[in-house]
Amino acid sequence: MENRIIEFVSGLRAAGVRVSVSESRDAFLASSNVAVPQRETFRVALRATLIKEQRDRETFDRLFPMYFGGDPPALQPVGQNLQPADSETLQQMLRELQAELSDLLRDLLQGKAPDNEQLREQLGRLPARVDPRMLPRVERELNKRLGVAQMLREIEALLAALEQAGMQAATLQALRAEIEQNLQALAEQVARFVGQQWRERAAQTPAEEASDAGLADRPFESLGDADYAQLQREVRRLAALVRTRAALRHKRGRGRLLDAKTTLRANVRHGGVPFALHFKRRHLKPKLTLICDVSTSMRQVVEFLLTFIYELQDQLSRTRSFAFIDQLLDISPELAAAPPATAIPRILRNLPAGHYNTDLGAALNQFVTHHLDAVDQRTTLIICGDGRNNYNDPRCELVELLRRRARRVLWLNPEPRYLWGSDDSDMGQYASAVTAVHHVGNLRELAAAVDSLLASN
């Protein structure tokens, strides 16, 4: 059983669920602690110890029967209980239809299912990383290749022929029920076989590759083929990590600062003797204003950045967000109403139709004219863009103006440094106008940039 649990845990990991070593140890302990080793209790014990997110339950529930399902039901020979006369009719009909009946049906009626060899031959080798949610589709495909659809038609034809030959309705009914039971058993065997194949593949997949971990380090431009749900999960995970770090930092941070004013006021009733000390709120949460380039090249990075920022709202005091291609839009209301993954496509759809060229200079001008109230001496202003302006005026002086007004101006750019300043990139100029530039080429770098932003407030 222990080995089976280990194998199951690596299956979960291959399916993208994060399971730590301590959690798999808990699963052992739990499974050996359930007094009556009933399957359902066992299942609940494993789930409570291994799955800590509601959204991973589906994966668990799908994989569990593949590992702990026991033997699938066997097929039974059909027609064993028929009266001799009916049995004779059936046999004769089978002989008559000889040419029209597939081997699959003939076997099914004798209580035989295709063996693993045959199944393997039809299925071929599963690719290395199949999302377990896809397995029903794989099953359907295998059923199709086995000729199940054809067999169903043959069954109808056979039953119709038997009726013609004068078989009683009740007898036909019983025969149909037996056949259906075998069909059911066959379907389960096929599902079990597919599950078994998936398990073998999962066991061969090295843990690193199997987990989402790789996603954090892959360059943004290569994420196109990654599973979207998995990416979202990874972003949320990194955000939670950043939050934990921030929380620990505050907790272990430098000594607390005495708040003299509040202390005096609170201790009036003690005759001014400062018994109850009051401390300054240990740290001021950053106030953020974001200006994001949502042109095609930047869209995905911006979506991740905004997802990060909005996952970390409790670490921030106020956030305002603006998007631009050549015009500037205040997107804070949309982001307040829906998570970034939903809001951003909606924002893009609502942009007036036409052909766009990134023009940060013009967007900055609009920002300074209409939204200067979004920046004060407590604000950290973040500009997220590649600094490619299509040879428009970069308006660096506006960035400098904003830097004097804001607490600081940070620039996040997904382009590697050696490309800054090439062709239509004004990044070199912008870089010297802002407080700091972070290169963010993948999720981990993005997380680190956000982390340092929280750390140095």
Partner 1 sequence: MTDTAEQLGAALKAQQYIPSEEICTVMFLAQQLQKPVLVEGPAGVGKTELAKALASALGRPLIRLQCYEGLDESKALYEWEYSKQMLYTQLLSGKLQQMLADTDTLAAAADRIAKEDDVFFSMRFLLQRPLLRAILSPEPAVLLIDEIDRADSEFEAFLLEVLSDFQISVPEIGTLVAINKPLVLLTSNNTRELSEALKRRCLYLFIGYPAPAAELEIVRLKVPALSAQIAAQVVDAVQSLRSLDLRKAPSVAETIDWARALLALNASALTRDVFDSTLTVLLKYESDLQKARQMIRREPRKPKAPDAA
288-317 footprint of partner 1 as x/- string (CB under 8 A): -----------------------x--xx--
DSSP 425: B
Distance, in Å, from the CA atom of 242 to the CA atom of 315, rounded to the nearest integer, reads: 10
Cα–Cα dist 57/35, whole Å: 24
Other Cβ atoms within 10 Å of 183 Cβ, number: 16
User: Which of 9, 51, 104, 398 contacts partner 1 by CB under 8 A?
Assistant: 51
Rg of the chain over CA atoms, in angstroms?
33
CB nearer to partner 1: give 244 or 369.
244
Q: Which two tokens stand for residue 308?
A: 């990060």
In the list 3, 35, 222, 254, the residue contacting partner 1 (rule: CB under 8 A) is 35
Q: Which two tokens stand for residue 110?
A: 């004798």
30 near partner 1, judged by CB under 8 A:
yes
Asked whether position 260 contacts partner 1 by CB under 8 A, the answer is no
Please give the Cα distance from 361 to 436 (Å, whole number).
19
Rounded to a whole number of angstroms, the minimum distance from the CB of residue 2 to partner 1 is 17
> Which residues have CB under 8 Å from 220's CB, separation 6+?
300, 301, 304, 414, 441, 442, 443
268 binds partner 1 (CB under 8 A): no
CA distances 224 to 184, 218, 336, 348, Å, are: 40, 11, 27, 19
Assess 265 for contact with partner 1 (CB under 8 A).
no
Of residues 57-86, which lie at the interface with partner 1 (CB under 8 A)? Answer: 57
Shorter beta-carbon distance to partner 1: residue 41 or 122: 41
Residues 225-254 that bind partner 1 (CB under 8 A): 236-237, 239-241, 243-244, 246-248, 250-251
Cβ nearer to partner 1, comparing 148 with 246 = 246
Considering only 5, 9, 14, 45, the residue that binds partner 1 (CB under 8 A) is 45
Interhelix angle 148-164/169-204, nearest 10 degrees: 170
**Closest separation in Å from C-beta 32 to partner 1:** 10
Residue with smaller CB distance to partner 1, 149 or 241: 241
Binding status of residue 99 toward partner 1 by CB under 8 A: no
- Amino acid at residue number 439: H
CA pair distance 392, 360, nearest whole angstrom: 8
Interface with partner 1 includes 4 (CB under 8 A)? no
Query: What does residue 127 show for φ and ψ, rounded to 5 degrees?
Result: -65, 165
Sorted by sequence, the CB contacts under 8 Å of residue 117 that are 6+ apart come out as none
Interface residues toward partner 1, by CB under 8 A: 18, 20, 22-23, 26, 29-30, 33-36, 40-41, 44-45, 47-49, 51-54, 57, 236-237, 239-241, 243-244, 246-248, 250-251, 269-270, 273, 275-276, 311, 314-315
